[in-house]
Chains A and B, each alone.
Chain A
């Protein structure tokens, strides 16, 4: 530090235009981004649903029957339908982004994005069928 550099009152004004809180509403790509982020609420809701189901199961057959009856309430079915849409949005956006996160090279060549996304979709199908079989067979 030398003596020449002293504090001055001068300061250039920041150029910071104010961004509206609802900036994501006016363009489809931004809205899609926020909808994708909001899908995480559906994931958390599903975990809560799972915890309620586990609690009902541990309380016995009557509690479980009451839980199943609660799932038939029209409002709950509507809520679950909306959440299913968000969960599907999550799954599709997740798998479409997978090639960005997973970079695989075979003999020095990058495996094409489509192949990586495709293998994710195949895994989704296999897991879904396996889960459905596990639940429905009994």
Chain B
């Protein structure tokens, strides 16, 4: 039997992360990165931020965004290094760093979202 590749599974995560990021990131980065710091819009108070994020559905959504967004990065960045910089001889190292980094971030996200009051 031919060796099964886990590439389709990784691609699925990449694709889901790409779609979620495409939908959510522009508005979020615009608000928190520019509009609030520059005073264009009034940022929500600490308490209302906490209420918003504490909702179970919101925790789940943010966890998915962190997990899938990092998988998206890991997959795409890995191939950018392979093809763009042609460093194929470091395949294993790059693989471990990309997906290892994504896993660390996912665990951190899970911990933070679980423990937020």
Give, as a whole number of angstroms, the nearest-CB distance from B113 to chain A: 7
Q: Is B116 in contact with A54, judged by CB distance below 8 angstroms?
A: yes
Evaluate whether A51 and B112 lie within 8 angstroms (CB atoms) in the complex, with A84-B34, A90-B22 already known: yes
- Against B, the Cβ 8 Å flags (1 = close, 0 = not) of A75-89 are 011001101100110
Contact at A131–B36, with CB atoms within 8 Å? no
A43: which B residues are within 8 A, CB to CB?
Answer: 17, 21, 25, 69, 72-73
Q: State which size class the interface on B falls in.
A: 35 or more
For residue B62, which residues in chain A have a CB less than 8 angstroms away from its CB? 50, 54
A134 CB within 8 Å of chain B: yes
Check A54–B21 contact: CB distance below 8 A. no
29 contacts between A and B (CB under 8 A): A21-B85, A34-B80, A38-B80, A40-B75, A40-B76, A40-B80, A42-B25, A43-B25, A44-B69, A44-B105, A47-B70, A47-B73, A49-B32, A49-B33, A58-B117, A65-B46, A68-B43, A72-B37, A77-B34, A84-B26, A84-B34, A87-B25, A90-B21, A90-B25, A127-B23, A127-B27, A128-B27, A132-B27, A135-B52
Q: Which 3 A-B pairs have the closest CB atoms?
A: A80-B33, A138-B48, A40-B76
